[in-house]
Amino acid sequence: MILARFFAGGFRSPLVVAGMVIILALAVLVPVLNLAVPRGSAFHMPDYLVPLIGKYLCYALLALALDLVWGFCGILSLGHAAFFALGGYAMGMYLMRQIGSRGVYGNPDLPDFMVFLNWKELPWYWYGFDSFAFAMLMVVLVPGILALVFGWFAFRSRVTGVYLSIITQAMTFALMLAFFRNEMGFGGNNGLTDFKDIVGFDIAAQSTRVGLFIISAAALIIGLVITSAVINSKYGKILAAVRDAESRTRFLGYRPENIKLIAFVLSAVIAGIAGALYVPQVGIINPGEFEPANSIEVVVWTAVGGRATLVGPIAGAFLVNAGKSWFTGVLPEYWLFALGGLFIFVTLFMPKGIMGLLGLVRRRKSTPVDEMSPDARADIAPNAAEQQQ
């Protein structure tokens, strides 16, 4: 009952519902166009596009997670890719255990890279990853606990703003260096790859890929419902209050550190799930995923789509990544310049991103300024000015 009311809050915004419908349409259309339409037809979707769009869905879920903390709580995390990568590694470890004796060295007990490093037995932290359920638990727990510990210390010490951004960046950088080390037991430089199957299905089969695609789309829709329900609840209002006037909330009796921690942990868990869905679709996870630049890209997607809009970051993730796929094909060495330029352009000229432009168009259409009362005009003018800055 309480839960039903909570989730109902997720459907309160028409824009969010529209976003869900579009993702749902994608979840139906892509499999149909790929599997049901005959190969020769102009409407047939090529096989390679399914995991590619599936990958975008995972990125979109990651951007949504970042928007929850950045857009709605003002925490500019420059280390969110770390939570994504940890979720990915947890999934990767399960997939490694599924290989069994089909590895190059044919060792039934140890993954190839451990045989190569002359390890005699499985490290303790690999125990349990034979079980899918255990691995899924870790997908949620590892990023969640890291966020809990990290956030607890950072928020309690009242680290905010750019300092917080810097330590999140340091966190992902430290993790990257750690995962690069062979002694860590996560495959070092090469990471985890050569996956064979997932819960009994061949990971390379087109039907499995379509299945993963549908699950990713479903995860994105569920993520949208949950984050939207969270920000529409009273907690969401407290979160925005903390973002806008943190010290004021203290004098009302709130503990901003605890309020932020809830959102931060939830966001890390969502990011972890996105990473876990990403790995089987791209077939590899390596320490490169922890790279600071990856986390910054997530910030760019979110900014391009529009902060604090939930659907904006999803749109941003799709557009920027589609742009990246195209751009890196045409002018690969200039992609980073284009990305940096895009970020500067958006920050300067579109502070509310694509959603801000949509909002502007919609407002102009629905209420012509002439017909408004002077009061209403005065109310809108500052917003319009802000958007043109």
Partner 1 sequence: MSKATSILYLDGVSVSFDGFKAINNLSLTLDPGEMRAIIGPNGAGKTTMMDIITGKTRPDEGEVYFNGTIDLTRHDEAEIAMFGIGRKFQKPTVFESQTVEDNLLLSLKGERRGFPALFYRKSKEDAAAIDEILGTIRLEARRKDLAANLSHGQKQWLEIGMLLAQDPKVLLVDEPVAGMTDAETEETARLLKEIAKTHSVIVVEHDMHFVRELGVKVTCLHEGSVLAEGTLDHVSADKRVIEVYLGR
Query: Which residues contribute to the site for partner 1 (CB under 8 A)?
Result: 2-3, 5-6, 230, 233-235, 237-238, 240-241, 244-245, 247-255, 258-259, 261-262, 379
Closest separation in Å from C-beta 153 to partner 1: 17
Closest separation in Å from C-beta 240 to partner 1: 6
Nearer to partner 1, 109 or 379 (CB): 379
Q: 100 CB contacts (<8 Å, ≥6 apart)?
A: 108, 196
Closest separation in Å from C-beta 80 to partner 1: 21
- Write phi, then psi, for 197 (nearest 5 degrees): -145, 165
Q: 241 CB contacts (<8 Å, ≥6 apart)?
A: 248, 249, 254
Closest separation in Å from C-beta 269 to partner 1: 15
Nearer to partner 1, 181 or 250 (CB): 250
Nearer to partner 1, 90 or 259 (CB): 259
The full DSSP string for 143-171 is: HHHHHHHHHHHHHHTT--HHHHHHHHHHH
Contact in structure between 287 and 176 (CB atoms under 8 Å): yes
Nearer to partner 1, 255 or 364 (CB): 255
Nearer to partner 1, 201 or 235 (CB): 235
**Other C-beta atoms within 10 Å of 239: how many?**
25
Nearer to partner 1, 195 or 264 (CB): 264
Closest separation in Å from C-beta 270 to partner 1: 15
Contact in structure between 380 and 363 (CB atoms under 8 Å): yes
Structure tokens at 137: 């638990």
Structure tokens at 284: 């590899």
Structure tokens at 120: 């005699």
Q: Say which residue the tokens 């992609």 belong to.
A: 335
Nearer to partner 1, 201 or 254 (CB): 254
Nearer to partner 1, 196 or 377 (CB): 377
Closest separation in Å from C-beta 382 to partner 1: 8
Which value, to the nearest 10 degrees, does the dihedral of the CA atoms of residues 127, 133, 139, 140 take?
A: -120
Closest separation in Å from C-beta 110 to partner 1: 43
Question: d(Cα 89, Cα 135) in Å, to the nearest integer?
Answer: 10
Closest separation in Å from C-beta 352 to partner 1: 13
Question: d(Cα 83, Cα 267) in Å, to the nearest integer?
Answer: 9
Nearer to partner 1, 26 or 230 (CB): 230
Residue 125 Cα distances to 101, 184, 290, 382, angstroms? 20, 10, 20, 55
DSSP state of 191: -
Contact in structure between 301 and 321 (CB atoms under 8 Å): yes
Closest separation in Å from C-beta 332 to partner 1: 41
Q: 44 CB contacts (<8 Å, ≥6 apart)?
A: 33, 34, 37, 38
